[in-house]
């Protein structure tokens, strides 16, 4: 008996979970590693996902790898062409609009449910993060601003007390991760200030536990992010070159 495999009987994939469980059973590990491999942009958009190479990269046979590919296809991260293998799914502008809107719907829901369930301590924690983020905004520290921003949204989702929602949110977040990353670099000060104001409204509505209002604000917040992201796409100039792929 080795040290890597866990011996618990914990179920895998129980809740369409965003890939949290399933570390056991080779296939599960490969799924996670392959997902990361794709999400992190090691393969260019629309590029082929060569089974053979990945097999030796991960040191496994094709069977578990192909199982993972099927799952990633179901998640929408890659697409499978009959007899022509897997490709990294290139997101069209429309795809990105749709994804941001769905994210908006999910965050909107999260806010609504959070108003029902959030504790005072959680609000206090979100407030703390908010002011921390505000500090980075004042200092124009984009990177740390973005990090805290993410955490605030995650806290709201967590406060919704809905594990199904959390897992679904995680899946979609992974799907647009690359885009969000680059959209992040749209250093438009105007949009940034607007986002900051929206975050103040979010916090205010959450404090008052105004569910419908928070739902509205969050949807529009994401809608504005969508606009910013799409504008950024229009004039990319220099696309982030993936860190070289063997």
Q: Which does 196 bind (CB under 5 to 8 A by kind): DNA, a second copy, none?
A: none
Residues composing the chain = 246
Residue closer to DNA (CB basis): 15 or 135: 15
Site for DNA in 43-62 (CB under 7 A): 48-52, 60-62
DSSP string of 144-180? HHHHHHHHHHHHHHHHTT-HHHHHHHHHHHHHTHHHH
Considering the complex, what minimum distance in angstroms separates the CB of residue 74 from DNA?
A: 14
Distance CA 34, CA 22 (A): 13
Structure-block tokens of residue 115:
């108003």
33 counts as binding DNA under rule CB under 7 A: no
Find the angle CA(169)-CA(39)-CA(99) to the nearest 5 degrees: 40
Structure-block tokens of residue 203:
């916090």
88, 221 Cβ separation under 8 angstroms: no
If binding means CB under 7 A, how many residues of this protein chain bind DNA? Answer: 23
Site for a second copy in 186-215 (CB under 8 A): 212, 215
**In the complex, which residues of this chain contact DNA (CB under 7 A)?**
1, 7, 25-27, 48-52, 60-64, 66, 80-86
**In the complex, which residues of this chain contact a second copy (CB under 8 A)?**
9-17, 22, 24-25, 27, 63, 66-68, 70-71, 73-76, 78-84, 87, 89, 95, 98-99, 101-102, 104-106, 108-109, 112-113, 162-165, 168, 175, 212, 215-216, 219
């Amino acid at each position: 008996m080795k040290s890597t495999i866990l011996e618990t009987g914990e179920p895998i994939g129980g809740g369409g979970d965003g890939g949290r469980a399933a570390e056991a059973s080779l296939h599960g590990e490969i799924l996670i590693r392959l997902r990361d491999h794709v999400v992190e942009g090691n393969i260019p958009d629309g590029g082929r996902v060569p089974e053979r190479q990945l097999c030796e990269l991960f040191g496994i046979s094709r069977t578990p790898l192909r199982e993972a590919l099927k799952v990633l296809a179901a998640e929408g991260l890659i697409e499978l062409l009959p007899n022509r293998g897997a490709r990294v799914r290139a997101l069209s502008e429309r795809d990105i609009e749709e994804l941001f809107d769905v994210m908006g719907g999910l965050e909107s829901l999260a806010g609504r449910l959070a108003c029902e369930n959030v504790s005072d301590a959680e609000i206090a924690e979100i407030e703390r993060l908010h002011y921390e983020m505000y500090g980075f905004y004042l200092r124009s520290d984009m990177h740390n601003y973005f990090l805290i921003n993410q955490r605030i949204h995650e806290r709201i989702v967590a406060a919704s007390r809905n594990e199904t929602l959390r897992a679904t949110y995680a899946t979609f977040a992974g799907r647009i991760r690359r885009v969000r990353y680059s959209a992040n670099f749209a250093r438009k000060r105007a949009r940034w200030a607007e986002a900051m104001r929206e975050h103040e409204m979010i916090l205010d509505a959450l404090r008052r536990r105004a569910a419908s209002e928070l739902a509205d604000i969050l949807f529009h917040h994401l809608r504005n992010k969508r606009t910013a992201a799409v504008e950024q796409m229009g004039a990319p100039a220099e696309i982030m070159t993936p860190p070289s792929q063997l």
